[in-house]
Amino acid sequence: MPKEFDFVSYCPVLNCPNGNTPLYWKHYKCLGKTTINDLGQIRCRKCDEIGPVIDWLFRCEHHDFQPANFQKISFVLSTVQQILDVEDDDFFMDMVDAVKVQYRKRKQQQKTSSDDYK
């Protein structure tokens, strides 16, 4: 089992004005509280749905469902550590690294698919 912490932090959507009020991110399908783990996955505590951060969409009072922006999610994930006052630096480094890999792969896939149209 990967290590996990409650996902409580700011909104990871680019240009969203929510940067001051940490939110307890809930799964919209069941309203269960979510967690983040050191593999860069978000999991719902209630229904157990799990997936990489890059595949989740985020809705807050400022906008409808949107994907997380990489720069913003890196910041948001590191603030979870401050908010929960966790000493385990390794956990957060592993998590941010895992998320980085997700975004890098997505970028390469997009590059490959646009090459198909040349």
Site for Zn ion in 69-88 (CB under 5 A): none
Q: Are 97 and 103 in contact (CB under 8 A)?
A: no
Compute the C-alpha angle 13/1/22, nearest 5°: 30
Q: Are 94 and 38 in contact (CB under 8 A)?
A: yes
Tell me the C-alpha distance between 88 and 107, whole Å. Answer: 30
Written as six digits, the tokens of 15 are: 């240009």
Q: Which stretch binds Zn ion (CB under 5 A): 5-13, 72-80, 89-97, 106-114?
A: 5-13
Tell me the C-alpha distance between 82 and 90, whole Å. Answer: 14
Contact flag: residue 105 with Zn ion (CB under 5 A): no
Q: Among 62, 104, 105, 107, which residue interacts with Zn ion (rule: CB under 5 A)?
A: 62
Q: Among 4, 5, 10, 11, which residue interacts with Zn ion (rule: CB under 5 A)?
A: 11
Contact flag: residue 104 with Zn ion (CB under 5 A): no
Site for Zn ion in 21-60 (CB under 5 A): 27, 30, 32, 44, 46-47, 60
Residues that bind Zn ion (CB under 5 A): 11, 13, 16, 18, 27, 30, 32, 44, 46-47, 60, 62
